[in-house]
Structure 1
């Protein structure tokens, strides 16, 4: 009973009942419509047949009188068809015809009206069997009464056939609907139970649970694919949050401990104004580094929480890259290197100008810190073009590159391949670039050129109103971001 109540409360059961009711009503309406129109058509045919017989017999009576009429009715009465005839005299005695018995009022009311009557027909197999007919009765000269009619047996049999078909059809509809409901309900309930079980697993803290996919590509499979993609994203975010927490605890523990030690040392050993000033300056430097880390984390979090459509605008990438190159070319030359640019003409993208500038700046800063070649001059190249329907920006160098096993890890937060950490930084620059690329529907990818490393991000091209990619020479105003 509990299982039955559970089934009856499901949406599948309620929808099945609705479908059964609608389909039954529509099927019944269709059969009744067919039956009614067929009965009407057959009734019209009966009336036309009776009227035609009556007209023929009236012509016979006019030409030959009663004797010719009796002979004609006698011949026609011997035919085993549905036509009915009866001729009686003024006293009600039957002269000729194929009707054995019928209500007396039918002959008494000889007004020519169409009546539906019950009668008994003369015949070897029909004697005593009461049947129905449609008849007309007329009074002739001399007190004679003529009845002409048509048996309704075929019409009644057809009506019974349609009624039986309607009952059988309704039974079949209900049975098939019940079978379909059982099949659909069991299948739907099974899939829903699987979804519920997976949801309970996830609610208990196991984020590795995924919804099963049957491979039929139905609505449940599409829902499961979307939910699994969402769960993958949630798992990545939760793992990222855990990694960030662990990295914060690891990376900030040392500067906080150093800050605390310097304050304690200053309180214990500093003498005079100069001693306290030196201690405060060292503490201020450590606190500035902590603030830079937290600001970088907040910046990444803000980027990851942005809605892409609200921050994008058509941007002239040639102008943007030129501004970044103008800003960093003197710095690269001071380091003894060279900065080159090579972009396709009229290269435009639907992007956030400031964030793309920030990404390019971070990639250039990363090259300046870790991409210097062991021999020769540093060469940084900014390039861009279109590839597979996307706009690609690349920052390449001629340095040592990144081992393939570390290319994914280096984009994680607080990861720095330089274990000695002699270079200043927080280990968040490439994480920020990755977040910017994801905001634009792309990704950050590395490729070793041997020598050198190529970092690339892809953006969405500008689409005109006609649906084609559109070039241009105008862009947003703004200055490149700072690393």
Structure 2
């Protein structure tokens, strides 16, 4: 009983029932419409035939009298499939024709009789009655003329229509049931598979995916879209777990240091205002660092979520890179480093100026920090063969040639690169450094939270760009491959700029 209720509640059953009702109503209407109109047409044809024959009989009577009329009726009565003819006197006695019995009331009527009249033909041995459409006319002397047509064909047609309706209804119901069984089994099987996979996912196995067949139907399209959504959710959940773990691990130390400093200051009974002031300044500095860390986390989360508030406009990456390099040039001079840049013109992409600027700033700041430190920490004997100062180079170039269509967009990527002569990053660590709070062992004592490259990675993902980390021999080359605007868009935007 439960399985039957389950089937009755399915969408497949409801749709099949609705389709069955609709098609039954349509078929019924069509059959009834055809039957009624055919009956009307056949009745009109019978009445028209009777009227023509009556006019012919009356003409014969007018031209030749009763003898001529009787002669014509006798001749026509002997023809195969003849109409009904009957002439009676004023007393109702038979004079001529091919009808033996009729209801008495028929001859008392005048004109066309609307209902069918039962009769028997003259000379038939059986007592089987037939039905006919008749017209009765009174001629001179009280004589009556009856002309009619048998309606057996019309009745036969009506029975054929009734049988066709019954057979069609039965066939329609049988086919609907077969279609419903087939659809229900197929649909229920797919739904059961999706439900089973959903229960597995709800039990905590986020790597489970909905089944996709090779049918390419709407269930496959739904499963593919849901699988994409599940992959995104899994990535967000993994990222959230990593962020939580990293926050608990990386922020525990500064918070503990902050608390210990305040505790030591409060325990100091010297009432030294300078010591209090220094402690407060250090606490304020630590607090600012924590706020910057949380701001970076929020910015990364907003970018990775592809927030609708992030507006994209056509912008020139070369101009942005040059502006940021020019901004950091005094900082590099103070650190004793050499910062250079080179950009191609009209490197137009669709992006957010603030986020792209932040990504370039993070790359320059990262390269400057580690390159300066690396050069300063080199032993004296090695400095004779190494460059005397840290070098950072920012470049923006456009690969490939312009074309009239979008098929070569990938080959014309706009590449933003920041290279340095610092320690570089090992191949095994180049993917890991793009994650949140990841700091390599050799940079643990450097200031920072390990979120700079994570933000760059999030900005690149938002702009559908590809990141490459290469060896600068020595140092690192950090490249972002931005997809350019189409030629017609970039040309128009460059004019506006």
Q: Normalising by the residue count of structure 1, what TM-score does the alignment of the two structures yield?
A: 0.85
Once the two structures are overlaid, the 10-residue window that deviates more, 104-113 or 357-366, is 104-113
In the alignment, structure 1 segments of 5+ residues that lack a partner are: 476-483
In the alignment, structure 2 segments of 5+ residues that lack a partner are: 376-385, 400-407
Once residues 67 and 333 of structure 2 are traced to their aligned partners in structure 1, the CA distance between those partners, rounded to angstroms, is: 136
Name the residue aligned to 2:145.
146
Once the two structures are overlaid, the 10-residue window that deviates more, 46-55 or 451-460, is 451-460
1:405-420 equivalence runs, <5 A? 405-420=428-443
Q: How many residue pairs are counted as aligned between the two chains? A: 470
Name the residue aligned to 2:477.
453
Name the residue aligned to 1:321.
321
SS in 1 for 2:479: strand
Name the residue aligned to 1:357.
357
Once residues 468 and 94 of structure 1 are traced to their aligned partners in structure 2, the CA distance between those partners, rounded to angstroms, is: 106
Name the residue aligned to 1:174.
173
Once residues 454 and 156 of structure 1 are traced to their aligned partners in structure 2, the CA distance between those partners, rounded to angstroms, is: 92
Distance change in 2, residues 1:311/1:110 (3 Å): closer
Structural RMSD (CA): 3.2
Distance change in 2, residues 1:198/1:329 (3 Å): same
SS in 1 for 2:116: strand
**Aligned counterpart for 1:383 among listed residues 368, 391, 396:** 396
1:331-350 equivalence runs, <5 A? 331-332=331-332, 335-345=336-346, 347-350=347-350
1:362-441 equivalence runs, <5 A? 362-370=362-370, 375-376=386-387, 378-385=391-398, 388=409, 392-397=414-419, 399=421, 402-440=425-463
Distance change in 2, residues 1:295/1:110 (3 Å): closer
Q: Normalising by the residue count of structure 2, what TM-score does the alignment of the two structures yield?
A: 0.83
On the 8 A contact 2:317/2:396 being kept in 1, the answer is no
1:6-405 equivalence runs, <5 A? 6-81=6-81, 83-111=83-111, 115-122=115-122, 127-259=126-258, 273=272, 284-305=284-305, 307-308=307-308, 311-332=311-332, 335-345=336-346, 347-370=347-370, 375-376=386-387, 378-385=391-398, 388=409, 392-397=414-419, 399=421, 402-405=425-428
Once residues 169 and 145 of structure 2 are traced to their aligned partners in structure 1, the CA distance between those partners, rounded to angstroms, is: 46
Once residues 371 and 82 of structure 2 are traced to their aligned partners in structure 1, the CA distance between those partners, rounded to angstroms, is: 108
Distance change in 2, residues 1:460/1:32 (3 Å): farther
Once residues 317 and 82 of structure 2 are traced to their aligned partners in structure 1, the CA distance between those partners, rounded to angstroms, is: 94
Distance change in 2, residues 1:95/1:425 (3 Å): same
Once the two structures are overlaid, the 10-residue window that deviates more, 267-276 or 421-430, is 267-276
Once residues 423 and 25 of structure 1 are traced to their aligned partners in structure 2, the CA distance between those partners, rounded to angstroms, is: 81
Distance change in 2, residues 1:141/1:266 (3 Å): closer
Once residues 18 and 490 of structure 2 are traced to their aligned partners in structure 1, the CA distance between those partners, rounded to angstroms, is: 47
Once residues 42 and 31 of structure 1 are traced to their aligned partners in structure 2, the CA distance between those partners, rounded to angstroms, is: 16
The CA deviation at 1:91 is 3.0
Distance change in 2, residues 1:275/1:91 (3 Å): closer
